[in-house]
Amino acid sequence: MIDAIAFSLLCHTDEEREMLMVRLKAYSPIAGKRSRAIYYSHKDNSIFIRTSLPALIHGTNEKTLSYEDLATSLNKLEEILGVSLVDARLCGIEVGVSFDVEQPPAAYMHLWGTLSRAQKDTFSSGQTVQFRNKSWSFSGYDKVAELKHQYGINLRGKRILRLEYRIKRGVSKRFGRQLTPWDLLDQAIYSRLIGWWKQKYYQIPKYDLVHEFSLPRTPKTFVLRLAGIGMSAVGSDIVEAHIKEALMQGLIGATTASRMRGLALTLTTNEADGKGSPLTDEIDQKIDQLVQLELALFQVGVGRHE
């Protein structure tokens, strides 16, 4: 489930830095129009590297990287770089999972509301949805469409929803110490990353555009119910766009905008709570089953790396 990692390597001599740069420049992907898998930059004697671990051994990250393959990919990375990663400083981690789904991926993401303290962006007519701030991002996208567009890989007949959670900074603060790439094999660290990925997905409000109406018992809940249905029909993205526009034009103040956003989030969340869309239920079940399987492997000692 670990996908991309970002880390820095300190080269103690100019010769060591030049040797590493030569290896990076000489590295080529597996074959064809595949992801290069390794991106790098340097400043003084520090080299900053970002790479997709599954792409190192499979060519792309179409398939979810298993815990067992995590060590294989790290060994492959050391082989490519010609250096040990024991002293590398991990500064970014991405957890990514690919799910085969019954409907087009955009249909699932169309049900997603907005998250507080995060910017929501939608690309390619809903084929990609991303929530982001300075510390983290969570993305859902159509993996089949991405592979075809970027790498010319045609997976005709397949539907794959990719869910990725990325820690962009503050790795050492989250874990209370500096991590190396090899620390990702620590089962406690691995489990926490899976838990954060799952938690972030479940924090996204989700609603259904098809409603079964039942009469609430009080006038207040009646109004809130109708308002929630209206919020779902209009869409949280459109509401947010109107709030931003009015704020920029000076039609409303920052306090009013904040209150409107809070009310919109409450309506979206209330509409999602207790309502199970078949599409949302499908993904929920897949996530729960996957996480249970990963943690069960630790319980029986499968894939244990000492």
Write out the residue range of the structural domain in which residue 230 sits. Answer: 219-272
Shared-domain flag, residues 84 and 200? yes
Shared-domain flag, residues 128 and 10? yes
CA atoms in the 13 A half-sphere facing the CB of 236: 31
Percent of the chain residues past pLDDT 90, beyond the cut = 45
Shared-domain flag, residues 29 and 155? yes
Residue 157 lies inside a defined structural domain of this protein: yes
The number of residues in the chain equals 306
Task: Give the tokens for residue 127.
Answer: 């084929």
SS3 content of the chain, % helix, strand, coil (to 5): 50, 20, 30
Residue 182 lies inside a defined structural domain of this protein: yes
Question: How confident is the model over 54-76, as pLDDT tens digits?
Answer: 988 888 888 899 888 999 999 99
Q: What is the DSSP letter of 75?
A: H
- 284 exposure class (CB count in 10 Å sphere: 0-12, 13-18, 19+): middle
Measure the CA–CA gap between 97 and 160, rounded to whole angstroms.
10
Measure the CA–CA gap between 129 and 80, rounded to whole angstroms.
33
- Beta-bridged to residue 7, according to DSSP, are 49, 90
Lowest-pLDDT choice from 79-93, 134-148, 206-220, 245-259: 206-220
Q: How many domains does the chain have?
A: 2
Q: What is the DSSP letter of 13?
A: S
Shared-domain flag, residues 168 and 263? no
Q: What is the DSSP letter of 280?
A: H
Question: How confident is the model over 205-217, as pLDDT tens digits?
Answer: 887 655 456 677 8
Residue 212 lies inside a defined structural domain of this protein: no
Shared-domain flag, residues 72 and 31? yes
Measure the CA–CA gap between 280 and 284, rounded to whole angstroms.
6
Check whether 32 has a pLDDT greater than 50.
no
Shared-domain flag, residues 103 and 131? yes
Shared-domain flag, residues 32 and 157? yes
Average pLDDT over residues 301-305: 47
Q: Considering the entire predicted model, what is its pTM?
A: 0.76
- pLDDT given for residue 27 in this prediction: 80
20 within 8 A of 81, measured Cβ to Cβ:
yes
Starting at the edge strand found earlier in the chain, the sheet holding 46-52 runs 38-43, 46-52, 2-10, 89-100, 160-167, 136-142, 128-132, 119-123
Residue 306 lies inside a defined structural domain of this protein: no
175 within 8 A of 90, measured Cβ to Cβ:
no
Q: How confident is the model at residue 305 (pLDDT cuts 50, 70, 90)?
A: very low
Residue 305 lies inside a defined structural domain of this protein: no
What SS3 class is residue 87? coil
Residue 214 lies inside a defined structural domain of this protein: no
Residue 98 lies inside a defined structural domain of this protein: yes
Shared-domain flag, residues 239 and 94? no
Shared-domain flag, residues 198 and 71? yes
Check whether 290 has a pLDDT greater than 60.
yes
Residue 211 lies inside a defined structural domain of this protein: no
Question: How confident is the model over 37-59, as pLDDT tens digits?
Answer: 788 888 888 999 999 999 888 88
Shared-domain flag, residues 130 and 263? no
Check whether 137 has a pLDDT greater than 50.
yes
Chain Cα centroid distance, residue 275: 24
The neighbour count for residue 219, using CB atoms within 10 Å, is: 8
Residue ranges with strand state E in 101-212: 119-123, 128-132, 136-142, 160-167
Shared-domain flag, residues 252 and 282? no
Shared-domain flag, residues 230 and 257? yes
Maximal C-alpha separation, the chain? 76
CA-closest candidate to residue 60, choices 32, 39, 86: 32
